[in-house]
Amino acid sequence: MTRPSQDSPALDVSGVSLRLEGKEILRDVSFAVGRGEYLSIVGPNGAGKTSLLRCIDRLLAGATGRIEVFGRPLESYRRKELAKRLSYVPQADGRVFPFTVRQFVLMGRYPYLSPFTSVDRDGRQAVDEAMELTGTGQFAGRRLDTLSGGERQRVYIAAALAQAAEILLLDEPTTFLDYRHQAEIRDVLARVKRASGLTIVCVTHDLNRAALDSDRIVALCSGRVVFSGPPHQIMRTDALERIYQTQFLLVAHPHARLPVIVPEAPREGPP
């Protein structure tokens, strides 16, 4: 807090623990994310990845420890101020109110609105840009509940981008998408990161993508940080096997100077 906020990292998580209904969800989690950095959070199911994201966006109360956003404690932000710093793309939710895509993306501008006003020209421009970037402009008039999973995911990202926050939190943005849509989401993230220096924190199960795309990886296991470092250090069989308790087969990527995981072939031939 005494530090000038210019030098402080975008996000500084230190000693965060969380218990919910007597169950330990997070334990002494610490890491920092620099400005403009792309951090992936990986780990087995139930490791606390989603809970951690929700703590960072103050959607989940009761965590102990300290979280700072641009050098300021998380609790010191008013909700609207926080929304100008952090935006959040949750896991796909099946229950959607029948808003149109454009109405939904426009709602990303809420932190800049006051009662009885509509989104101004700058805001509409931000919305248009976000929709163009995510390729959602083509179905702007369609209802949210008529979209496919991939389309809806891109709309959620568009709304988060329209919010124009400096940090983007994503919870498994590509889990339900086919290859083409995964590639599209990846391109979108790379583009906004380049264009606006966006800081990205992404929870994912796709280790290959995490390794290839992100600057740094944090691995959680049973609520603890078990790895934190650059991608090439986690893409090793011993490191991965320790985290996931299963075997991995790694091969060199033909273009990137990184090993990637390939699926194991069946041990015997077909009967």
Partner 1 sequence: MNKAMVVLLLLALALSVAAAAPFVPLGTLRESSDETAAKIFWNMRVPRVLMAIVAGAGLAVSGMALQAVFRNPLATPFTLGVASGASLGACVYIHLGLALRPLWIPGESWSAFAGAVLSIVLVYGLTRTRRGFSTATLLLAGVAINFFFSSLILLMQYLSDFTDTYRILRWMMGGLERGVAYRDLVTVLPLVAGGTAIVVYLTHELNLIATGDELAASRGVEVNRAKGVLFFAVSLVVGAIVAVCGPIGFVGLMAPHICRLLVGPDHRYLTPATLLFGAAFLTACDTLARTVMFPVELPVGIITSLLGGPFFLWLLLRRSAAWE
Residue ranges binding partner 1 (CB under 8 A): 54, 57-59, 79-84, 86-88, 90, 93-100, 103-104, 107-108, 110-111, 113, 115-116, 118, 145, 163
- The nearer residue to partner 1, 28 or 81, going by C-beta atoms, is 81
In this structure, which amino acid lies at residue 153?
Q
Q: How far is 69 from 87, CA to CA, in rounded Å?
A: 12
- The nearer residue to partner 1, 80 or 191, going by C-beta atoms, is 80
Inter-residue contact 87 to 108 (CB < 8 Å): yes
Q: How far is 156 from 48, CA to CA, in rounded Å?
A: 22
Q: Which residues contact 173 (CB under 8 A, 6 or more apart)?
A: 89, 153, 157, 185, 202, 204
Taking the complex as a whole, the smallest distance from the CB of residue 191 to partner 1 amounts, in Å, to 22
- The nearer residue to partner 1, 86 or 188, going by C-beta atoms, is 86
Taking the complex as a whole, the smallest distance from the CB of residue 135 to partner 1 amounts, in Å, to 21
Taking the complex as a whole, the smallest distance from the CB of residue 21 to partner 1 amounts, in Å, to 11
Q: Which residues contact 116 (CB under 8 A, 6 or more apart)?
A: none
Inter-residue contact 36 to 198 (CB < 8 Å): yes
- The nearer residue to partner 1, 96 or 258, going by C-beta atoms, is 96
- The nearer residue to partner 1, 95 or 180, going by C-beta atoms, is 95
- Neighbouring CB atoms inside 10 A of 235's CB total 22
Taking the complex as a whole, the smallest distance from the CB of residue 91 to partner 1 amounts, in Å, to 10
Q: How far is 40 from 63, CA to CA, in rounded Å?
A: 21
Sign of the C-alpha dihedral computed for residues 154, 155, 157 and 158 taken in this order: positive
Four-CA torsion 189, 193, 194, 195, nearest 10 degrees: 100
- The nearer residue to partner 1, 80 or 236, going by C-beta atoms, is 80
Taking the complex as a whole, the smallest distance from the CB of residue 184 to partner 1 amounts, in Å, to 22
- The nearer residue to partner 1, 3 or 80, going by C-beta atoms, is 80
Which residue in 188, 101, 189 sits closest to 151, CA to CA? 101
- The nearer residue to partner 1, 83 or 225, going by C-beta atoms, is 83
Q: How far is 140 from 126, CA to CA, in rounded Å?
A: 14
Taking the complex as a whole, the smallest distance from the CB of residue 254 to partner 1 amounts, in Å, to 39
Taking the complex as a whole, the smallest distance from the CB of residue 142 to partner 1 amounts, in Å, to 12
> Which strand ranges, in their side-by-side order, compose the sheet holding 86-89?
86-89, 167-171, 199-203, 38-42, 216-221, 224-229
Taking the complex as a whole, the smallest distance from the CB of residue 143 to partner 1 amounts, in Å, to 9
